Each structure stands twice: as structure tokens, then as C-alpha cells.
Copies of this chain bind each other. A is one copy, B any other.
Amino acid sequence: MSIAKTATSTQNHEADNRLRQLVGYNMKRAYHEIQTELTAALKPLKLKVGSFSALAAIADCPGLKQSALAETLAIEQANLVALIDQLERRGLIKRERARTDRRAYALFATADGRQLCQRADIICRELEARFLADIPHSDIDQLITCIQSIEQRIKANMGTVK
């Protein structure tokens, strides 16, 4: 008599064994955890992952235009507007009409914006340092390189093919 491999007998543990072999599934799960922690950590600054990303890019690239920012962060221009609006309302950035192109806005972080960005950046780094503790720097660099190369490969190879 064959014993069915039921949930009870397998203790239901590791029902996602198959999925765990996929890079995508693991990345989704890990990022979800990171995102949850990061969102909580940035809350005191009234920043979210998205608004911090935008602020950091603007602070690091004064005069950046909205369209370029959207491209950099891979978000739709349309979705950027509210984000930028909020940052501007809080006095963290300002919009200036681009001199060469009156359609466009050049974005600049204010002193307040740069300062808050710096604080947020430290929070992010410290958060990551906490859960990356014990992992050698070289491994982390390698991890980042690997993840970036996956992103690049998909953007380059996919879509073009089938």
C-alpha cells in the first residue's frame, strides 16, 4: 500500500521547494522583506522607497529633468508627477524651467532636501549593513554585480527574442 505524500505527512513545510530553485521567486521574496523593513525605517523621515529614490537621484544630479529621472528610475513620467509634487511641497526639491527647453523642468534639491537625503541614505545603508553583516564586502559587490547583470541581460536579450 502506497502512502500518499500528503501535507500531513510532509508537514507542509517547503511546499515551495520547486519555486525556490527559481531566481525570480527568491528575489521577489527577499525584496519583499527588504522593502518592508526599508519602508518602516524611512517612515520617520516621511519618505517612502520611491520618494527617497527620486530625491537621491535629484540630489546627486542637479538639473535633472523629470523625463530623465523617470527613465533612470524606470517609472512612468505620469507616476512621477505626484512624487515630485510632494517633494516640492515639502521644500525638498524645486522645479525650474529649463532655459533651453521651456517644456521641461530642471530639478534641484534644496539644502533641506540634500540634508534629508543624506539622513535617509544613512538609514538605508545601516539597514542593509545589519542584514548583510557577516557577508564579506567582496561577496556583496559580487552579488550586486550579478543582480545588475541579470537586469541588463533581460533588458538586452528579452523582448528582442520572441
Contact = CB atoms under 8 A, between A and B. Distances in A.
Given A121-B18, A157-B131, A68 B12 contact: yes
Interface in A16-49: 16-35, 37-38, 49
B158 A24 contact: no
A15 interface: yes
A7 B106 contact: yes
Contact of A12 (B64, B128, B143): B64
B161 A130 contact: yes
Nearest to A25: B53
Contact of A32 (B14, B69, B74, B124): B74
A27 B24 contact: no
A138 interface: no
A135 interface: yes
- Count copies of this chain in the complex: 2
Interface majority SS on A: helix, strand, loop or mixed?
Answer: helix
Given A68-B12, A146-B135, A34 B26 contact: no
A45 B161 CA distance: 19
A56 B148 CA distance: 28
B57 A15 contact: yes
Interface of A: 4-8, 10, 12, 14-35, 37-38, 49, 53, 56-58, 60-65, 68-69, 72-74, 106, 121, 124-125, 128, 130-133, 135, 139-140, 143-144, 146-151, 153-155, 157-159, 161
Given A18-B60, A26-B147, 4 more contacts: A20-B144, A23-B144, A28-B31, A30-B154
